[in-house]
Amino acid sequence: MNRTLHAFKGGLKLASHKDQTRHIATRDICHPETLYLPIKQHVGMAAVPCVEVGQAVRKGELVARSQAYVSMHVHAPADGIVASLRDFPVIHPSGLQALCIELSVSERHDDDRLTARGANPADLMRLERHVIYDRIEQAGIVGLGGAGFPAHVKMHEGSLQHVDVLIINGVECEPYITCDARLMQEQAQDVVAGATLIRWLVEADACIVAIEEDMDDTRGALAQCKSDAFELIAVPAIYPAGSEKQLITVLTGLEVPSGSLPIDIGIVVLNVATVVAIYRAAAYGLPLTERIVTVAGDISMPGNIKALIGTPVQHVLDQCGGFDSATHRVLSGGPMMGIEILDPRAPITKVTNCLLVLERKLQPPASKACIRCGDCVPVCPIGLQPQQLFEASRSADVDEAQDLNLFDCIECGCCSYVCPSEIPLVHYFRYAKSSIESLDIDRAAADDARLRFERHKTRLSASESSDVDEQVSLADVSGLRVSELQNQVHDAIARARQRRKK
């Protein structure tokens, strides 16, 4: 079938820098002596540790349990001893610390010691769908493309509505990153099996596996084991074509309305690595404890490596030749959307797809004033007004920022890239988002406190009214006006108080 492709708004044609790693086979690295497992590696509520200090755990064992629908389990990536539960540096723009489970690693066992359930999608599709959903949830799988949204939630929401198209996203539009390309080349059979299983699971009318037009090796690998379960479509290599909403537009011509989700227009999008993790959870019961990470940039041994979740960034970089922190910086992610890792002790998480080593500018140029050139407007893939958003964010005008659809911003960095004044626009937008979210949390806490206070007053009033001798039956007062009934209640409460004073 020849599918008509469509263009999305804005975007940039960027140098890919992918030849540095895309032709190198994924390799293992030696495992660190200590792993640090953040209890929150996903969108939603943090998991709750279910282990104690000094406890021995086995590879794949649950160490932090989900406590909400939008949350996710965390499992031990290796056999070891729980050394501590403490705050530890994590990958975050502010360099903050978060609660982590420190695991002293002992001997690592192979995955084949876990009970296999049968790898054939046809066998799995004989099971009840809820069984597969449960296996996915128990495996702790989140979106491995970087978003970190719990996979079982996205798929469950899809199962509640009609799915026209299931899109398997293998488009790595950001420069340097090739972990998904290597995955598709080396594990094409699992990609096909996962796509087949998930299409059945969400009952999608059609399924598309999307890659970029310059992924020739990937196209060849998938074509060799292609099935009728999906279409293999190559899309133009324009950044950010791999972003969820932009990819939907390219493949279907549809746009996801502001404030809506893809499922609202009958589409489910899953990253290709997420699909493989789902298939392995369903077929073999394997929890998500490791992932492929691209290591690229100014480093002597670039490539894609298989890393245990919780491995310190410094350990990974040392295994790839090391770097000088005085002259270079490390990003988690690519050069457009990546965030600087301020402490290399921070661990790899489920959403870490790339470690990019770049030369550090010794004297970063100071941002100039906005010259209102408007260059940022045509490149925005969402069709926002970055200049106006910048003014609202800088002045902390949260109402104006929200009126300008701040939360539709995907933080792709196109506006910052073309800004002649070198204003870090995305940093302002991220700060404004976090400020608004903090205000929302504070408002919710205040509303909750007010509700508790009002309930407390109601209970006190009810207790005082219980001493009233004259009980008014609802049947007797059905014809009374509300104001008259309220007066009677107030009078009764007053008499009860007066009796207590005597």
DSSP string over 72-87: --EE-SSSEEEEEEEE
Amino acid 99: pLDDT = 97
What is the predicted pLDDT for the residue at 495? 57
The 8-class DSSP code of residue 65 comes to E
- 432 touches 392 (CB < 8 A): yes
With CA atoms as reference, report the closest residue to 151 among 27, 288, 35, 33. 288
The answer, yes or no, to whether residue 120 has pLDDT greater than 80, is no
| DSSP-assigned beta bridge partners for residue 440 | none
pLDDT at 177 over 90: yes
The span from the first CA to the last CA of the chain, in angstroms, equals 90
Name the more confident of 447 and 425.
425
pLDDT-above-70 percentage for the chain:
88
Number of residues that this document lists for the chain: 502
Q: How confident is the model at residue 108 (pLDDT cuts 50, 70, 90)?
A: low
CA distance 132 to 115: 16
Pairing of strands 339-340, 206-212: unpaired
Share the mean pLDDT of the chain: 88
What span, in angstroms and rounded, lies between the C-alpha atoms of 249 and 237?
14
pLDDT class of 121 with cuts at 50, 70, 90? confident
Q: What is the pLDDT of residue 502?
A: 43
pLDDT band at 193 (very low <50, low <70, confident <90, very high): very high
Whole-number pLDDT of residue 481: 47
Distance CA 334, CA 176 (A): 7
Q: What is the largest CA-CA distance in the chain?
A: 93
For strand 206-212 and strand 165-169, is the pairing parallel, antiparallel, or unpaired?
parallel
The rounded radius of gyration (Å) of the Cα atoms in the chain is: 27
Question: pLDDT band for position 488 (50/70/90)?
Answer: low
CA distances in angstroms from 205 to 118, 153, 231, listed in the order given: 26, 20, 12
* Long-range contacts from 384-392, C-beta under 8 angstroms, 24+ separation: 384/408, 384/409, 386/415, 386/425, 389/425, 389/428, 389/429, 389/432, 390/423, 390/425, 390/428, 390/429, 392/432
In this prediction, residue 501 carries a pLDDT of 45
The reported pLDDT for the residue numbered 489 is 52
Q: Does position 221 have pLDDT exceeding 60, yes or no?
A: yes
Residue 34 identity (one-letter amino acid): T
Please, what is the Cα angle at 327 between 303 and 293, to 5 degrees? 20
pLDDT at 254 over 90: yes
Question: How far is Cα 181 from Cα 172, in angstroms, rounded to an integer?
Answer: 8
> Which residues, 6+ apart, have CB-to-CB distance to 405 below 8 Å?
258, 382, 384
Higher pLDDT, residue 121 or 198: 198
What's the average model confidence in pLDDT over 366-375? 84
Residue 298 half-sphere exposure toward CB, CA atoms < 13 A = 13
Mean pLDDT for the stretch of residues 432-452: 79
For residue 457, the model assigns a pLDDT of 77
Banded pLDDT at 113 (limits 50, 70, 90)? very low
Q: How confident is the model at residue 493 (pLDDT cuts 50, 70, 90)?
A: low
With beta carbons less than 8 A apart as the criterion, state whether 262 and 248 touch. yes
Q: Is the pLDDT of residue 186 over 50?
A: yes
pLDDT value of position 446: 78
Peptide bond just before 365 cis, omega within 30 deg: no
Mean pLDDT of the region 59-67: 95
